[in-house]
A and B are shown apart, each in its own frame.
Chain A
Amino acid sequence: MAEVVIVGAGPAGIRAAGVIAAQGLRPILVDEGRQPGGQGYRRPSPGLSLDMDALMGTEAGKYKALHADFAALLPQIDYRSRTLIWGIEDRRLYCVRDGRQMTIAFDALVVATGAMDRIAPLPGWTLPGVFTLGGAQAVLKDQGCLVGRRVAFLGASPLLSLAALQYRKLGAEVVAVCDTSPFRDKIAALPQLAAVPRTLARGLAYLAALKRARVPLFDGVTPMAIEGEAGVTTLRFGDGQGRERRIACDAVALGYGLKPETQLAELAGARFAFDARFRLWLPVTDEDGRAGEGLYLAGDGAAIGGADAAEASGALAALAVLHDLGLRPVIDERPVLRRRLARLRRFQRGLARAFRWPVPALSRLPDEVAVCRCEHVTAGEIRRAMDEDLGPVDVNRVKAITRCGMGRCQGRVCGPALQEIAAAHAGLPVEAVGRLRGQAPVKPVPLGILEEEEA
């Protein structure tokens, strides 16, 4: 029987596992997390009770349904939590679990690795108290913790207002929600956003709720600096009217939308193409998620689409797996799923227009600001290296010369900013400076791991 392995137990991975299991196959579902749900549908840690209805709001029904479906599915699948996949070679996954090395062979691989925050550095962004927006939400849902008592939300993302509301519900003071994208961009994106009126209405409802709660909301802001000595004390920015504002806070949640986690897809052989709307290199797939022989991508790890798109694309990729294995799916709803997915992803493209990645700000990023946190490489060091005789242009060469992107995170955090800074400095379109190539290990692997026979 063909071995189908699914990576990631978020909405895409769980729906993919459901489709494969319904066919009578027993897929292996590998996940780095301790519990299923991925990021958006993350569950509180065992023993912690949180009012998830309140936190999930309008999405509480879907959240409960996904977790209930997973519980029902569990006996039919081989679920391996807390398992980090760090390499892929010859249809074999190299994993670490509980300090032990193991490999998992596969015939078909569905990669549903989700997304992480896209970060635009600014002065002070490495101070204690600055978190990614997704990180701020993760500690909230997983641990019931807040990143601070007086939290400012900064970036360009519809998730700013959602996370701000969640923080308010758990008792934090939201001192400001600062959106760098101007209001006119949102108006311009309305036709695309109208593709999914329910989600559009949800976003507007979050904003309305923040307004009612008298949370200071700012549009079209110019971030200037996060300030403090031992930790964050102030967020300084120019408001939409050009006035400088200083807001006292003890934490800042920073997010400019999401970027797919594509490292495993790359190791498995996916090709990449530059997407001008998202300004990201995205894996190339067909409409069902095929990215190569025996390789399927689903969810936000393939293309940012949100949780609903993740569920649809997970099911769709699994149906593609079954077809390619020569099996006839019990229920083949591919046409419906394709239409739904196309609509949801169109909506996300609208969002990328409404909430812009701040290219001009990055190109002007002050020289002294660290771009690469892991290796402490500043924007100025990148520019000086490029200015040298025979200096690098391609981001992989910039990395080789400056160490930017060489550290623990392997460029997952600094990569998008690096490509903008390099392109702006070279006076080239961003796609001309290339894409940071991925290598195993995609995440750090302890030297002392113990060997284990194939599981």
Chain B
Amino acid sequence: MTMRRADVVIVGGGLIGAWTAFFLARRGRKVVLIEKGVVGAQSSGTNFGNLRLQGRFPGQYPLSLRSQALWEEIEDLIGDRCEFDPSGHLYIAFNDTEREKLEKYAAVSESHGLAIEHLGTADLARRYPWLSGKAVAATFSPRDATANPRLVTPAVARAAKALGVEVVEQCTVTQARREAAGFVVETADGRSFGCDHLVNAAGAWAGEVAGMFGEGAPLFPAGPPQFVTEPFPYFIRPSVQAVDGTVIFRQIPRGNVILAGYPRTAADPIRNRAPVPPAKTLAAMRHLTAVVPALRDCHVIRVWSGIEGYLPDMIPVIGPSMTTDGLFHAFGFCGHGFQIGPGVGLCLSEMICDGSTETPLAPFSIARFRGAVAEDEKFRREFDLPAAAR
């Protein structure tokens, strides 16, 4: 059996793997991207499409802002706009407690240089007359944006391929190990690849890859149910999110309203299923009409979900392995990987090519799972999982 040589093998053809491949190829590295299905089909392709800056984990702002700059030039980078739309993001509060939470988020955003508009009831009524009185306060971040997740990952993978990346679809990695001469990656169809650096960007399946190198993280799979309505006259311009998580929605210019809502639902990565329970659909519909009564007569026509990897502290693993030189992890994006995807890819390419990156990534080290990790309150609030999964 002949072994194909590359500088870098990336396991996982999601958004993270595709952007990493793209930036490595721009630096002249020979890259093989291996995907068990087709590129961009799981959470990379099925997420809500928010490029939200406000309300992120404080330690993530340098990465997040760097990533947004890449999104803002996506057309120049990959030759495809992928419906990128600087629509802004409106975070709404239903009561004073939530308003205080928004103010705290805003203080963090502003400390990183983000412009945030603070809106009261009168501002909301004037600027967004379609919002019901349920929203009592909001913060608006004009630099936040949206893009179409269905289109982005295939487009990035195509751009990477055009730069020389070998994209291998329908191919499952069965074994990966470190030998004296570098990594050896073997696949179910009998191929084998040798490389100097290995990137584990296998999403909800990344735990198995980490396990091949004797490390792990308490990753679990879940799906974010998403819903879409028939086209309706276009009147909702910013992406809107209730800070209590009950409803997140945006309207695209062709008229469809996309909505999502917590709690998330357990998914099955073995049978490759991320069900959307009908009760979730009903709850999302009820929450949306409470916030935008004009949509009462609009119809939900379709639902979907995908399989995402979550970690108990609700922040991802990004960075070098603690056990194996040359291995890098990027997984467990806990439902907020879409916005930081390009930034993560760029940082990984810098760590691989330059040995380091200017962007602080210490909070995301896999080392944190060697000790006890505190569960984030979102972890308790934003999921409804069968008891067995907890």
Contact = CB atoms under 8 A, between A and B. Distances in A.
Given A390-B39, A397-B38, A440 B301 contact: no
A439 B299 contact: no
Nearest to B162: A389
A447 B230 contact: no
Interface string A399-431: 011000011101000000000000000000000
A446 interface: yes
Interface string A123-148: 00000000000000000000000000
A85 to B, nearest CB: 10
A190 B188 CA distance: 49
B278 A390 contact: no
A89 B278 contact: yes
B233 interface: no
Given A87-B281, A448-B296, A390 B301 contact: no
A447 B296 contact: yes
A28 to B, nearest CB: 18
A447 B299 contact: yes
Contacts of B161: 389-390
B278 A447 contact: no
A390 B154 contact: yes
A94 interface: yes
B8 interface: no
A446 to B, nearest CB: 5
Point out which of A89, A439, A441, A447 has the most chain B C-beta atoms below 10 A from its C-beta.
Answer: A447
Nearest to A405: B302
Kindly state the interface size class of chain B when it binds its partner. Answer: 35 or more
Contact of B297 (A101, A397, A447): A447
Interface in A40-98: 86-89, 94
A440 B276 contact: yes
Interface stretch (B66-74, B178-186, B284-292): B284-292
Point out which of A101, A390, A406 has the most chain B C-beta atoms below 10 A from its C-beta.
Answer: A390
Given A101-B282, A440-B276, A451-B286, A390 B298 contact: no
A407 B301 contact: yes
Interface string A378-395: 000000000011101010
B117 interface: no
Contacts, number: 86
A444 interface: yes
A347 B196 CA distance: 64
A452 to B, nearest CB: 11
Contacts of A392: 38
A246 B47 CA distance: 50
B301 A439 contact: no
Given A390-B167, A400-B45, A439 B297 contact: no
B46 to A, nearest CB: 9
Interface in B262-319: 276-279, 281-282, 285-286, 288-289, 295-304
Contacts of A87: 278, 281
Contact of B278 (A94, A388, A389, A397): A94
25 contacts: A101-B282, A389-B158, A401-B150, A406-B302, A407-B230, A408-B299, A408-B301, A410-B301, A410-B302, A439-B302, A439-B303, A440-B276, A440-B303, A441-B301, A441-B302, A441-B303, A444-B230, A445-B300, A446-B297, A447-B297, A447-B300, A448-B289, A448-B295, A448-B296, A451-B286
Interface of A: 86-89, 94, 101, 388-390, 392, 394, 397, 400-401, 406-408, 410, 439-441, 444-449, 451
Interface of B: 38-39, 41, 45, 150-151, 154, 157-158, 161-162, 167, 169, 229-230, 276-279, 281-282, 285-286, 288-289, 295-304
Given A400-B45, A407-B301, A448-B296, 9 more contacts: A94-B278, A439-B304, A440-B276, A444-B301, A446-B296, A446-B300, A447-B288, A447-B295, A447-B296
